[in-house]
Amino acid sequence: MIKKAIIPAAGYGTRGLPITKVVPKELFPIGVKPAIHYVVEEALASGIEEILFVVSQSKNLIANYFDRSLELEAFLEKKQSTHLLEKNKIPDIHIQYIRQPYARGLGDAILLGKNFVGNDPFAVLLPDEVIFNNKTNGLKQLIKVYEKQKKSVLGLYEVEKHLLSNYGVVESRKIEKKISKIVNIVEKPQKNPPSNLAVIGRYIFNPSIFSYIEGLTPGVGKEIQLTDAINEMMKAESFFGTTIVGDRFDISRFEEFLAANQYIQPFME
């Protein structure tokens, strides 16, 4: 079973400037909850028991959000606002934090979780991507594949051609409906992407991924690219991908942030 998850949240959020100078993009609201709250709820609903947040020095607001506010609780109790106390509850899950001193890429952020993970398979969830599905969730779909294959699994999503240059894009061989064996990944292809299947913000890895990250030199954008580690790992181990079913929003893109709020609105009425 997958019991541990890493949530990298140390990036600068440059696509969200200027607001991300002071408000982490992970705290952008979808309805009345920040995006990262939905991602933590997804992890909890998938059986995750421990989460490691990788944050930067400027992301203290994330830790504050997931901490109890005893002063606020006391105020609401005094006002007998029990419905607001219920609304203010944070997900009941064990959370740890580690700082990434400099944003050197997703691979570097995940490597900081090596001691936290130990020898266990683990999940990675990117907190600027939210997935809505009334019957299941994104991570559960990956876990189902992992439990069958016992190999690392990537979350895939069909993305419009003009957006593929923002993602890692896979070359794969379909083995079942919605499930593929990954052959290759190209990081942010500027032309001739191998498919329209992008790797989105859900992963399950066997812990051997760390040894491949440790052997990397900086790649695209002079960062330690997780994609490079996956390609190296695939030379020795099989990798699978599952095309996630659900409505997925990348809230670092302004139009998708707005779309996520429009999507969630009927559920709040």
Look at residue 269 in the predicted model and tell me its pLDDT. Answer: 56
Can you tell me the mean pLDDT for 169-194?
Answer: 90
Residue 18 has pLDDT above 80, yes or no: yes
Q: Domain map of the chain by residue range?
A: 4-268
4-268, CATH topology level: Spore Coat Polysaccharide Biosynthesis Protein SpsA; Chain A (3.90.550)
Q: Within 10 Å of residue 166's Cβ, how many Cβ atoms?
A: 15
Can you tell me the mean pLDDT for 67-93?
Answer: 81
Distance CA 112, CA 133 (A): 31
What integer best gives the mean pLDDT of the chain? 91
Q: Which two tokens stand for residue 57?
A: 């020095």
Look at residue 123 in the predicted model and tell me its pLDDT. Answer: 98
Residue 233 has pLDDT above 80, yes or no: yes
Residue 43 has pLDDT above 70, yes or no: yes
**DSSP-assigned letters across all residues of the chain:** ---EEEEEE-S--GGGTTGGGTS-GGG-EETTEEHHHHHHHHHHHTT--EEEEEE-TT-HHHHHHTS--HHHHHHHHHTT-HHHHHHTPPP-SEEEEEE-SS---HHHHHHTTHHHHTTS-EEEE-TTEEEE-SS--HHHHHHHHHHHH-SEEEEEEE--GGGGGGSEEEEEEEEETTEEEEEEEEES-SS--S-SEEEEEEEEE-TTHHHHHHT----GGGS--HHHHHHHHTTTS-EEEEE--SEEEETTSHHHHHHHHHHHHHHH-
